[in-house]
Amino acid sequence: MNIQVLYKPSYSVAKVNLSSGESIKAEAGALMSMSSHIQMQTSKAQAGGIFKSLKAAFLGGESFWMNTFSASQSGEVLLAPTLPGDIEKLELNGTIFIQSSSFLAAKPEIDIDTKFQGLKGFFSGESLFFLKLSGSGPVLISSYGGIEVLDVEGEFIVDTGHIVAFEEGLQYEITKFGGWKSFFLGGEGLVARFKGRGRLWLQSRNVPTLGAWFRSELPPRKE
């Protein structure tokens, strides 16, 4: 399998070249195009049974279904995320946590589960769960905006809307930013306080903030 990320750093597309017998699984709706001899099979998002699939779909924010693209002979698949931004290819060898909307594709053998974010994640407007990916092989993550990669050692504070992914060596706590005045009036909500050692991927734009801006621009509702 050979993966190229085209059109970086914005409006990126992943070009996946598959040899005969190779496959890749992707988030539902990610297909842009594919060779005529690539077969697509739609299945439950999790290999661990229907309960695990329901957990990812309704609690993790991910689609209940995923598409697996398999090559009967060499061909290509183009995959594109929903939001305008970048794509990063990771070579997973262990465990990583990914914001639910940032998962794009992975090798089929990689296991996908969910991680509870805590009650404060609900009030932040973010997903209650991160996706937990474990195994070895290529993983594609996507962002809204550009991707910043940080190597954290110690403690680091991140707005929850800018988290894309983080390695298993990092632990986090969801807290409010500053005092209550800053929380309600300063435009900053809840943040994740990361501690430990590991790599952290951030996105330069914030989806909840975009949604709030759109709502503010809508005309007043007529009674």
Indicate whether 192 belongs to any domain. yes
Domain total of the chain: 1
Q: Is the pLDDT of residue 117 over 60?
A: no
Give the chain's radius of gyration (CA, Å): 18
Read off the CATH number of the domain in which 54 is found: 3.60.160.10
Q: What gap in Å lies between CA 96 and CA 133, rounded to an integer?
A: 5
Averaged pLDDT for residues 51-56: 48
Q: Which domain holds residue 116?
A: 2-217
Phi (first) and psi of residue 177, to 5 degrees: -95, 115
Averaged pLDDT for residues 170-174: 89
Indicate whether 222 belongs to any domain. no
Indicate whether 112 belongs to any domain. yes
> Among 12-21, 60-69, 178-187, where is mean pLDDT lowest?
178-187
Averaged pLDDT for residues 9-23: 96
Q: What is the mean pLDDT of the chain?
A: 82
> Among 25-29, 86-90, 214-218, where is mean pLDDT lowest?
214-218
Averaged pLDDT for residues 207-216: 68
* pLDDT tens track for 80-96: 999 999 999 999 999 99
Task: List Cβ neighbours of 192 (8 Å cut-off, separation of 6 or more).
Answer: 157, 158, 159, 160, 163, 172, 173, 174
- Give 180's pLDDT tier (boundaries 50, 70, 90): very low
Indicate whether 223 belongs to any domain. no
pLDDT at 175: 81
- Give 152's pLDDT tier (boundaries 50, 70, 90): very high
Query: Helices in the chain by DSSP H: which ranges?
Result: 50-54, 119-123, 180-185, 207-217
Q: Is the pLDDT of residue 100 over 70?
A: yes
pLDDT at 151: 97
> Among 105-114, 127-136, 160-169, 190-199, where is mean pLDDT lowest?
127-136
pTM of full prediction above 0.75? yes
Q: Is the pLDDT of residue 121 over 60?
A: no
Q: Select from 85, 132, 127 the least CA-distant residue to 106.
A: 132
pLDDT at 6: 97
Averaged pLDDT for residues 112-121: 59
Indicate whether 207 belongs to any domain. yes
Q: Is the pLDDT of residue 45 over 80?
A: no
